Structure 1
């Protein structure tokens, strides 16, 4: 091995060690999650806007596009279907694929609905939890004579 190669290997190792040292350090004050914004923070207004977007845009769009796909797929299945005892294999395969797709669309709509409900109920749940904790603490205080 030539002397120059050895120097390059040593230099590469030094760079690698420097990078791994940086990876083993804590994030700078203020967090390390890009743009200086906290990752899990969310305002009630943002949750309400997200629930409204699901209700106004996503659910109607998925339903509308699902109906359109059902109509066009049905037309293709009929066009390729058996006529006078003969038809294309594509017709049956497309029909089975569309049945699977329809199930997935229904699952997506169910998921959107549950997410919308969760976004809408989050503020209420937190408030109810706080009220419940306050009530339990008040009972404990009364029992202990505080």
Structure 2
């Protein structure tokens, strides 16, 4: 292959590649409406997520407990009658309990974290307001000193 051929093939490849490029976004004139690129989650959104996590925790605790008790009883009955299926069902019941606890822990973590975040943001807002208030007081002192 000659050098000229190589250069021609490279330039053709670059041309093909540039026409195939596509950005995964809306064109500027169509926009997503509002603050493009900013993730916004309002208090109502966070409250809804927290409530859903709490509701799932409460309901799942009740219903998974019923399923566990019924499965344990069935496993015990089957094992008592000499069925190998009883041991298998007992194993499934143990795994169910472990997985249920994991899900319940995750739900509690979500709910607790959102509550903590809400309280932390309120404390941050209070701190910022106090700091800004102090700056305004300081500015007034400088203005008084200048005779304004």
Q: TM-score, normalised by structure 1?
A: 0.61
Name the CA shift for 1:104/1:26 in 2 (closer, same or farther; >3 Å). Answer: closer
Q: Which runs of 5 or more residues in structure 2 are unaligned?
A: 1-14, 143-148
Query: Shift in Å at residue 75 of structure 1?
Result: 2.6
1:40 match: secondary structure: coil
CA RMSD of aligned residues (A): 3.5
Displacement of 1:39 after TM fit? 6.7
Which residue, 115, 127, 134 being the options, matches 2:110?
A: 115
Larger CA Rg, structure 1 vs 2: 2
TM-score by length of 2: 0.61
Residue 65 (1) aligns with residue 63 (2): yes
In the superposition, relative to structure 1, how do residues 79 and 39 fare at CA in structure 2: closer, same or farther (>3 Å)? Answer: farther
Mapped partners of 2:38, 2:96: distance in 1: 34
> Distance in 1 between the 2:46 and 2:101 partners?
23
- Distance (Å, rounded) in 2 between the aligned partners of 1:43 and 1:91: 50
State the distance in 2 between where 1:80 and 1:51 align. 41
Alpha-carbon distance change, 41 to 91 in structure 1, aligned in 2, over 3 angstroms = same
Task: Tell me if structure 2 keeps the 8 A contact 1:47–1:120.
Answer: no
- Point out which structure has higher relative CO (alpha carbons under 8 A, 6+ apart): 1
